[in-house]
Structure formats: structure tokens, C-alpha cells
């Protein structure tokens, strides 16, 4: 049994508490929250879990093996580093830290301590996105031209991080996982209509190696909840709608044939007919799965086996690098900003 303390029982924390509480390989020994109402809500739902407002005391408890950090981003570094230094394994929510320096330091602390550090990039553990990764790896779509990722809703409006850090962090993690690469540059625009300095909507274009473009639209100022991704490849195209429980993936047998380049005269309609191929649309079966459950399983697996998590500290750091570059680009009027990659 892995003995877990969850710090932060606001909107998201209770989902983590429930998963580790109900898991046959873990037990939740403590839940920490500064807010008394949140602690009372935990006690009502999980009467067997002890609650506290003192993170330092819980982190120091020898009866805790791992700490889950589900507090606002600005607190992640202090809590996660204290837990790692106390010899605990850590699952920290996204985004991993509020800046690159803190994210780098967290990786180093985890490596020096020899403890598991994992980041809660939940979309990597989604069954549909795993299946889509398989299609990309098996070259079903051919060379990838671009990916368009839309993640919107009306609220919740955060005051500590902007819409890119809150929402697009998921998409950046997923795009890099699918493409098996990190972006080399980004240009972004966004606006802070509601709270000064905190962009409510962000539009960013990431450039990946091999001329792949990834466009991100992240907004909490939008009439509807959308989690839409389109991948356009040379051979086929794919859509991933995370709002669809039963049919999240579609594969479009659509392509533009190279014939378009052979026309030596201007006959726009004929050229158009020649170059576009519209085949079947396939809806692959995606077995139901619970992404958070998969994520918690993976954390426990890595603690037990010593394996490196798919979303380890270095992966979380790479996402924070992109987020920091998005902020820089927005502040510099959309200038294309280069991003340091893991390789240097």
C-alpha cells in the first residue's frame, strides 16, 4: 500500500483523493487544505481520512510515502520540493511550476533524492489520445502538416495563471507526446479583458521540427465547452473530440494529392477536382477508460517499479518552457520566440 497525502482539496483535489482512496494499491492518510470549508467537505465525504491545515507537518510524517500537490500553480514548487526533500514521491498538478527556473530545480531535487516526480498531464493517460498516438506512430496519417487544438469554456476564470498555463498546458503536453518532439518556437497573442495581466484567451502557433505547425486556442471566455483537436496529415486526417464519450476519434480518408503541382496552366476548378481525395470517414472503437484512474495507476506503478513516468519532471519542464515562451511572445506583440529544447 502506498500511503498518500493530498495537498489541496479545492475543485480538482477531491478527484485525486477519490481515486487514491478507492485504489487497492494506495490509501490516503492525510488531506491538507488551508480552507476549513474544504477540509470539512473532505471529512463529510471521506470520514476515514485525516485532515490538516499544516502541509509541513504532513510532509514530515514518516507514515506518508507520496505527496499529491493539487494547489494553485504558484504554490507547486514550495510544496513539491519540500516533499521531495523529505524523501516522498510526488505527483504535482499541471502546470508543474510557475516558471522554468522552479521547474528545473524540481527535476534536480527529484533526481538527487531518487524519488518519482510525475506531472498530472492527464490527457496523456486518456484512452483515445493513446489510440491516436498509435495511429501517428504507425504512419496512418502520413507526414503531419499541422495540428489544431481548441480548448474553451465559459470559466472557470483563474487569477493566478492565464488561459495558456491553465488550459493549453494539456495541449502542449499532448502535441509533444503525439509528435514525439518539442516545439522550437512559438508566436502568440492574447488579451486580458477580465483581470489585468491574466490573459483570458490565448492564440498560439508552435513550430515543431519537420515543419509541423500546432495551433492552440485556449479560452475561458467562450460560449461553449470544446475540447477539439484536428490532425492534418499527408495521407489522412484525424479528429479527437474529448467531449464525445462514445466516439471521440474519427479518421478521415481525405487528402490532397501531389497532382496539384503538375498543372502547368491556370484552370482552378479542374485542378481542384484532381487534387482533393474524399474517402471514407472511419469511427474507430475506443474502449472506455478513465484517464485519471490511468494516471493514478501509472504513478503507483512508477513508485513500485522505479520506472520513469511518461509525464516525468523533464516532460513537465518542457511544457513550462513553452508556456514561458508563450508569455514572452504575447508581451512582445506576437514575436516568434525560440524555445530551448531538452537537447539544449
75 near ligand NAD (CB under 6 A):
yes
Query: Is residue 7 at the binding interface for ligand NAD, with CB under 6 A as the rule?
Result: yes
Q: For ligand NAD, which residue of 8, 183, 233, 248 counts as binding (CB under 6 A)?
A: 8
Contacting ligand NAD (CB under 6 A), which of 61, 72, 85, 142?
A: 72
Cell of 336: 516568434
10 touches ligand NAD by CB under 6 A: yes
Give the shortest CB-52-to-ligand NAD separation in angstroms: 9
Identify which range of 1-9, 146-154, 264-272, 331-339 contacts ligand NAD by CB under 6 A.
Answer: 1-9
Residues 153-182 within binding reach of ligand NAD (CB under 6 A): 166
Q: Where are the beta strands (DSSP E) in the chain?
A: 2-7, 26-32, 50-52, 66-69, 89-92, 117-119, 144-154, 185-191, 201-208, 212-219, 221-233, 237-241, 249-256, 276-282, 337-338
Beta pairing partners, 218: 151, 202
* Residue 141 contacts residue 135 (beta carbons within 8 Å): yes
**Does the protein bind ligand NAD through residue 55 (CB under 6 A)?**
yes
How many other CB atoms sit within 10 Å of the CB of residue 231? 26
34 binds ligand NAD (CB under 6 A): yes
18 versus 256: smaller Cβ distance to ligand NAD: 18
> CA-CA distance, 222 to 213, in Å (whole number)?
24
Q: How far is the CB of 280 from ligand NAD (least distance, A)?
A: 33
Position among 22, 35, 180, 253 found at the interface with ligand NAD (CB under 6 A): 35
Sign of CA dihedral 315, 318, 320, 322: negative
31 burial (CB, 10 Å; 0-12 / 13-18 / 19+) is buried
User: What part of residues 122-151 is at the interface with ligand NAD (CB under 6 A)?
Assistant: 122
Binding interface with ligand NAD (CB under 6 A): 7-13, 32-35, 38, 55, 70-73, 75, 93-94, 120, 122, 166
Amino acid at each position: 500500500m502506498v500511503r498518500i497525502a493530498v495537498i489541496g482539496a479545492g475543485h480538482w483535489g477531491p478527484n485525486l483523493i477519490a481515486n487514491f482512496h478507492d485504489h487497492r494499491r494506495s490509501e490516503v492518510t492525510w488531506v491538507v487544505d488551508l480552507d476549513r470549508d474544504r477540509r470539512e467537505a473532505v471529512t463529510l465525504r471521506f470520514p476515514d481520512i485525516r485532515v490538516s491545515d499544516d502541509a509541513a507537518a504532513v510532509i514530515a510524517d514518516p507514515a506518508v510515502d507520496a505527496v499529491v500537490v493539487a494547489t494553485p500553480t504558484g504554490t507547486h514548487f514550495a510544496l513539491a520540493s519540500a516533499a521531495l526533500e523529505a524523501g516522498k514521491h510526488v505527483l504535482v498538478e499541471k502546470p508543474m511550476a510557475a516558471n522554468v527556473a522552479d521547474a528545473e530545480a524540481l527535476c534536480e531535487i527529484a533526481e538527487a533524492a531518487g524519488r518519482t516526480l510525475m506531472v498530472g498531464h492527464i490527457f496523456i493517460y486518456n484512452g483515445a489520445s493513446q489510440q491516436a498516438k498509435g495511429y501517428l506512430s504507425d504512419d496512418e496519417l502520413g507526414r503531419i502538416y499541422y495540428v489544431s487544438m481548441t480548448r474553451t469554456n465559459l470559466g472557470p476564470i483563474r487569477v493566478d495563471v492565464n488561459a495558456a498555463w491553465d488550459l493549453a498546458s494539456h495541449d502542449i503536453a499532448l502535441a509533444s507526446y503525439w509528435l514525439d518532439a518539442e516545439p522550437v518556437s512559438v508566436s502568440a497573442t492574447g488579451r486580458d479583458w477580465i483581470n489585468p495581466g491574466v490573459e483570458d484567451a490565448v492564440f498560439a502557433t508552435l513550430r515543431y521540427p519537420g515543419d509541423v505547425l500546432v495551433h492552440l486556442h485556449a479560452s475561458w471566455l467562450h460560449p461553449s465547452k470544446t475540447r477539439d483537436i484536428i490532425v492534418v496529415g499527408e495521407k489522412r486526417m484525424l479528429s479527437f473530440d474529448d467531449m464525445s464519450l462514445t466516439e471521440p476519434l474519427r479518421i478521415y480518408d481525405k487528402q490532397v494529392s501531389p497532382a496539384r503541382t503538375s498543372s502547368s496552366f491556370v484552370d482552378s476548378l479542374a485542378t481542384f477536382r484532381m487534387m482533393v481525395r474524399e474517402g471514407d470517414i472511419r469511427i474507430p472503437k475506443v474502449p472506455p477508460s478513465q484517464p485519471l484512474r490511468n494516471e493514478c495507476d501509472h504513478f503507483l506503478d512508477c513508485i513500485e517499479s522505479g520506472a520513469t513516468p511518461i509525464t516525468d519532471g523533464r516532460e513537465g519542464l518542457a511544457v513550462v518552457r513553452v508556456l514561458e515562451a508563450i508569455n514572452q511572445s504575447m508581451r512582445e506583440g506576437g514575436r516568434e520566440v525560440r524555445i530551448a529544447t531538452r537537447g539544449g
